[in-house]
Amino acid sequence: MTILVAPKPEAGSKPAQILEAAGRLFLENGYGAVSMDAVSKKANVSKATLYAHFGSKDELFRAMVACECASSTLEGIWDRAMAMPAADGLRLIGITFVTFVLSPKALAVHRVVLGEAHRFPELARAFYEAGPALMVARVSAYLEALNGRGELAIPDIDLATQQFFGLIKANLHMKLLLCLTERPSEATIQRFVDAAVDLFVRGYAPSAI
């Protein structure tokens, strides 16, 4: 499996200019609707230069996705969450995750990778490994810890992790992927996360078994 590395060339260099232009255009318009001409113009670079750095449109697309995936595992929150009571930790994780995943950039990456998943299956896989899979692993570990501390009683950690993500994304994610609604306010996100955590904690409370 191809590992998705984010090369991130030094800022200001031609490759960086090109990748940034490609990012804006591809993420805004999708793979098919963007020409190499458009990229070269947006990057203030000739097409020959473009092809000197990226051998083809496919390659540029892949590189751009890899670059945009520069994985935000949202470091920092895990230790903080671990130090809190279960519900508070879950809320922290939920808010952080939802805020990230509903950001315009994350949505755009999702959209373009989903839209081209047929044609770039390895890219879809690499994207998943570089992003969602990491989050899943972190949350699984966290839930395991809550189990260990006796705060929750989860029989199937894997399944519960997926449920947690499903709960906090609810329909918001899909609606935003479809461009059906503006980005929700902080208050709305808070409401969804609170409700999700309530349900989750109530459902997996040790006493509930």
What is the contact surface with DNA in residues (CB under 7 A)?
13-14, 34-38, 44-49, 51-53, 55-58
Q: What DSSP string runs through 174-202? A: HHHHTT-SPPPPHHHHHHHHHHHHHHHHH
Question: How many C-beta atoms surround the C-beta of residue 62 within 10 A?
Answer: 18
Which of 101, 100, 71 shows the shortest CA–CA distance to 173? 101
Contact of residue 196 among a copy of itself, DNA, none (CB under 5-8 Å per partner type): a copy of itself
Contact of residue 36 among a copy of itself, DNA, none (CB under 5-8 Å per partner type): DNA
Output 41 or 125, the one with its CB closest to DNA.
41
The nearest distance, CB 55 to a copy of itself, in angstroms, is: 19
Contact of residue 121 among DNA, a copy of itself, none (CB under 5-8 Å per partner type): a copy of itself
The nearest distance, CB 28 to a copy of itself, in angstroms, is: 6
- Applying CB under 8 A, the residues found at the interface with a copy of itself are 28-33, 111-119, 121, 124-125, 127-128, 132, 136, 156, 159, 162-163, 165-172, 174-175, 177-180, 191-192, 195-196, 198-200, 202-204, 208
Output 78 or 200, the one with its CB closest to a copy of itself.
200
Output 54 or 120, the one with its CB closest to a copy of itself.
120
The nearest distance, CB 21 to DNA, in angstroms, is: 12
The nearest distance, CB 133 to DNA, in angstroms, is: 30
CA separation, residue 123 to residues 102, 118, 158, 185 (Å): 21, 10, 24, 32
Return the exposure string of 170-188: e unless at least 16 CB atoms fall within 10 Å of the residue's CB, then b: eebbeebeeeeeeebeeee
Contact of residue 97 among a copy of itself, DNA, none (CB under 5-8 Å per partner type): none
Output 46 or 188, the one with its CB closest to DNA.
46
Which of 164, 170, 160 shows the shortest CA–CA distance to 192? 170
CA separation for the pair 80, 78 (Å, rounded): 5
Residue whose tokens read 């890219």: 123
The nearest distance, CB 115 to DNA, in angstroms, is: 15
Output 57 or 111, the one with its CB closest to DNA.
57
Which of 91, 71, 66, 70 shows the shortest CA–CA distance to 81? 91
| CB-neighbour burial class of residue 13 (10 A; exposed 0-12, middle 13-18, buried 19+) | exposed
